[in-house]
Amino acid sequence: MFNPAYAASRDLINEIEWRLPPQTFKHIDALFGPHHVEFFASADIMRLALYVSRTHDPKALWTNALTRPWTSLAHLRLLILYPWHLILEILRPLDAHPQPATLITPN
């Protein structure tokens, strides 16, 4: 369970929230974009104006992309940056409702 008072929880944020370097983002967006909505971002790390956050964020479209169907975004290309060990949770909604998306995981 997430608790910001514990060091392990702060490490979890660092593991889950990560940002592409600007040049890498531009390259990926040029190859596979344009991207419209970034999933699992936050106001601190987002690269796109529209994003879905992992935790509560008043500027986000909504919180936790896994709690809501993505069908309302079917006409938009998604940029999904998420830890590789949770990839099945991402692939399930994409399989159920195919739509343009770029999935990137850290090494």
User: Which residues are CB-contacts of 39 (< 8 A; sequence separation ≥ 6)?
Assistant: 51, 52, 65, 78, 79, 80, 81, 82
Q: What pLDDT shows up at residue 8?
A: 44
Q: What pLDDT shows up at residue 35?
A: 97
pTM of the shown model: 0.78
Q: What pLDDT shows up at residue 17?
A: 65
Question: What digits encode the pLDDT tens for the residues 15-72?
Answer: 556 778 899 999 999 999 999 999 988 888 889 999 999 888 999 999 988 888 888 8
User: Which residues are CB-contacts of 6 (< 8 A; sequence separation ≥ 6)?
Assistant: none
